[in-house]
Structure 1
């Protein structure tokens, strides 16, 4: 029987059809890797074959990694490289903790701390899990010291995790493990830097109760904390307390307290501490002298500062540029440029090089005196000595241009800054905006503000107040209100100056009711109106001839404890005179004298003009 036709055709087709091609190599799945033995993995690590580790990382189990880590105990320097070349998914918390415990045996804690930071910031393990993992690793490796847990606390300190630091301290205490004093000092320093005085004192109390013996660093840290809080008498009392615990105060201790008094402008307190130092035969050092001279200069006691400076040199202290700069700054602020320059010359003579700050102070002082040519000469001197004008120098020059009203020169300095790669600061832009406002070029001021925002610089309160003042002075209160809203959007809180400026802008245009609304906004924001606020409203109502509301504002001022001043009466008298109330103005003058307030020239000028206007109207 013949085969079926279709079957015959099919067989023929199959016989002559080409064999289908194999899929390209790129699409083939890789063959499953052979299991890796602990011996192979250890060999690859010891020979630093990290490419192999990376290739097979996904196939390494936590158990295999842990076994390898235990074999690496004699070679802790390989731990960090080994973990770096493993995929994070291969590393369990237990593996990390074992790595950290082994790396902690190295002379430097750098590798262990890096592994701790990686584990903490991975957000996979809680601080409790990490702590427990390190305790287990510590037990497995038979480590008796607290080093591993000390490093955990230090890692949290470096990451500024104040709450976790205290919790780990508590967990150590529960386990009966006391941290080393250096670890406690690390914690205290972190809390001081984070302004967490409460936590620092809690920790210090815990240290005392646990019998952890404080050292000089501990006591000096707590004294520094008290000084930062302005509790200087308590800082001195704490020194006595510390002495009772065996602490011997050193020059650092007293320098800290002296610096605290100096920061508060209390030279007498600083001087008393200096006497205490001398009584205990603790010699002041250059930092002691620098703090005292700075304090005296800031307090205007320049002759005392100079005398102390001379004694300091006689005792063999080499003055620093910072001390010279304090003296130069003090005499510049006093306007005594001859003395300021004499200290600059003395610096150079003894080989203490003036700094950019030295020149900036002298340039500013010269410009305040209008001595532009000499200021330019100082800039040239800087350049000769390889010191070039910085942003502070340019801000001083731009501020001078603003004071003399030279817009073009101010902007040429701005352009010069940019050409030299010096980025203008908020101070630069605030000065330029003030200048444009004073010259009534508010469109240019608005354009400049837009450019500032485009640069990513957020205006601060001073800059906003400058541009708001410019718009109010140029009778554009609506734009000032718009800027006020913009401030709030940018989370920049308006202050009393902001509101007083807008109140003045409204009153200047006779819109006293709207000015009163702004006064209400001030109160709702918790900003207490001052005498300027009320005097502006008083002037607004008086100019309009609204004596009733003007007196209402005056009564409100008096009820809030403000004293009646010559300015109050002058405003009322001028308002009455302007609006034909010369007779009532005379009554105000009598009341003014009855209150014991002497009239001035502007009072009488207003009265005379008012009486003349009244007679003119009468005729």
Structure 2
């Protein structure tokens, strides 16, 4: 019988006990000979203790499977010591990065992480160190100050004289879009007497610009100036962009002279930034003047320069001028992009000239510039606006044939189009298709669906949908809530609309003049003009300026009820704050006067509106003919 390779002590104990029990007390004990025949258990020696040296040897020999097995038994102190030893041996930082990846996060605290970051920072590319810092920040195992202090400690112990570690920490916060934490690190660096590199400062300035935190950008820029951190052309370009975002175009232009005075030559990006700012503000004249200055200084415009000018020109409705700019762009040897063509296509779509829009789509294809999803979105939207649903569906099929997947904007355009045409079933099918494809619906999607339900008097479903939206974590905006309020007002449920107005405060959504006008119109239709009047006062208290629709709504409400004295009082209030009466104003007043049989006064108003250049419409004539009964002769004599 073969001796087993391993032997369980519990089996041995059980066997021995049973043997003695069976033999009884009268039997003689085992002889040495008989004992020698019993198989003896084999004992494995305990594994040697894990030391920094053994761990270090395992890392150097890349025994990653073994290290991963040991990971639960490793302590932060042991790991830190091994890392210091490896640094002394000038081990490859890639080994350190691989080692850290094998360790369970619970075996590490902030100290070994920061030592590893310090060693990895020696690599030619900062990418790995940045990734590790971002991982440490996201683990939330230490406060920002603790991370900074441990980085400082590792920097001192590894005798790193440069600011690289602190720079990387700030850059990590910037990449995570954590603007305040980046600023906090900047000040902690300053307190240690270490100045960040200009590239790090530029990274912070760019973040503040993207987040529209222009106040922070100016505070940082002032600190850089005080600490004598020398700016670069890139720095100046960012600050010019900040000024443009703030709408300070004149100062942005003056900044060019400031940077030239400091010995820096503005480049094409400098001029492009300000030209884009002018175009965004609708100041095409200023943009073209700067364009000429730029060329006079020998700075050649690029595709972005022309793209900004073309976009600004299209926004002003000057599509033919934009096409001329495209021609000049190509004469300069510049190749237009899909974005450039999309701008022109959008311009013609807004103008209602679909034929020219498709001409430019075909032209870009001929030049080898492939239409993008935004190209199709623009054309599909224009087709829906023209009521050409079948052609819009064909465009979707064309997209898919070319391997382009519709995005959330595409679906929103389709859903909105079908909602406007009253096809709720098709709109909801598209919503379900979005979800099946993993495309998250947006507030725009749900606003369209709520709108179509309201128009079809299906407000119970609209309310249920709104509850589902909230449950999915989609934050409603004022446009979505206005659609829901409009549906309830149209269905004479003004109380629900008022309840939603109160809920907006809880949702932290600010109502606008559309919100109030919609509810006021609902109240006036129900004869609750005094309640509507109170809403105007509430608007003013909340800092929301009533517009001409607000006042016309009240005038119409009073006129419909025959309270002409109040109607004219509102008209006078409207005039006192600078709103001129509109066609709607006159029609409402004339309707009220005819209802109260004040025909002479109605005639006077008709002459007044014509003298002010307001052309009466069919509603005006119908009201007068029905109310006064003087027929066409009266209308003709009044308008002559």
Task: Report the TM range for the smaller structure's normalisation.
Answer: 0.7 to 0.9
Deviation at 1:588? 5.6
**Counterpart among 218, 230, 235 of residue 235 in structure 2:** 218
Match of 1:47 among 37, 56, 61: 61
Q: Indicate which of 69, 75, 86 corresponds to 2:83.
A: 69
Aligned to 2:402: 385
1:353 partner SS: coil
User: Cα–Cα, structure 1 residues 341 and 89, in superposed 2: closer, same or farther, change >3 Å?
Assistant: closer
From the superposition, tell whether residues 32 and 219 of structure 1 become closer, same or farther in structure 2 (CA, over 3 Å): farther
Supply the distance in 2 between the matched residues of 1:201 and 1:518 (Cα, whole angstroms).
41
Which of 592, 617, 623 does residue 575 from structure 1 map onto?
Answer: 592
Offset at residue 192 of structure 1 (A)? 2.1
Match of 1:227 among 227, 244, 247: 244
Unmatched 5+ stretches in structure 2: 1-20, 26-44, 631-640
Match of residue 6 from structure 2 = none
Q: Distance in 2 between matches of 1:563 and 1:169?
A: 55
Residue 316, structure 1, aligned to residue 333, structure 2: yes
3-state DSSP class of the match of 2:509?
coil
Q: Where does 1:189-228 land on structure 2 (aligned, <5 Å)?
A: 189-228=206-245
**Contact 1:586 1:607 (8 Å CA) reproduced:** no
Q: Who is 1:586 aligned against? A: 600
CA RMSD of aligned residues (A): 3.6
Partner of 2:519: 502
Per the TM alignment, residue 380 of structure 1 is displaced from its structure 2 partner at its CA by 4.4
Change (3 A) 1:171 1:498: closer
- How far apart in 2 are the matches of 1:119 and 1:366? 51
Match for residue 539 of structure 1 among 529, 537, 556: 556
Partner of 2:57, secondary structure, is helix
Give me the TM-score of the superposition, normalised by structure 2.
0.80
The answer on 1:526 being equivalent to 2:543 is: yes
Report how far residue 63 of structure 1 moved.
5.5
User: How far apart are 1:243 and its partner, in Å?
Assistant: 1.9
Q: Distance in 2 between matches of 1:86 and 1:407?
A: 55
Once the two structures are superposed, what CA deviation does each residue of 1:537-596 show, in whole Å capped at 9, x if it has no partner?
222222222334334434443444444556445423422432xx32x4424644775796
Q: For the residues of structure 1 that align with 2:412 and 2:444, how far apart are their CA atoms?
A: 7
**Residue aligning to 1:22:** none
Match status 1:349 vs 2:370: no
Distance 1:161 1:323, change over 3 A: closer
Q: How does 1:26-425 map to 2 (within 5 A)?
A: 35-50=49-64, 64-73=78-87, 74-75=90-91, 76-85=93-102, 91=108, 93-121=110-138, 123=140, 125-387=142-404, 389-411=406-428, 414=431, 424-425=441-442
For residue 305 of structure 1, report the CA deviation from its aligned partner: 1.0
Q: 1:69 to 1:448 in 2, by over 3 A?
A: closer
Aligned residues: 584
In structure 1, the gaps of 5 or more residues are 1-11, 17-30, 614-619
Cα 1:572–1:173 change in 2 (3 A) is closer
Change (3 A) 1:262 1:32: farther
Q: Is the 8 A contact 1:468 1:498 kept in 2?
A: yes
SS of 1:504 mapped into structure 2: helix
Rounded Cα–Cα distance in structure 1 between residues aligned with 2:525 and 2:367: 59
SS in 2 for 1:72: helix
- Once the two structures are superposed, the pairs formed by residues 16-35 of structure 1 within 5 Å of their partners are 35=49
Instruction: Judge conservation of contact 1:593–1:599 (CA < 8 Å) in 2.
Output: no
TM-score, scaled relative to structure 1? 0.82
Q: Distance in 2 between matches of 1:396 and 1:126?
A: 45
Distance in 2 (alpha carbons) for counterparts of 1:388 and 1:161 = 33
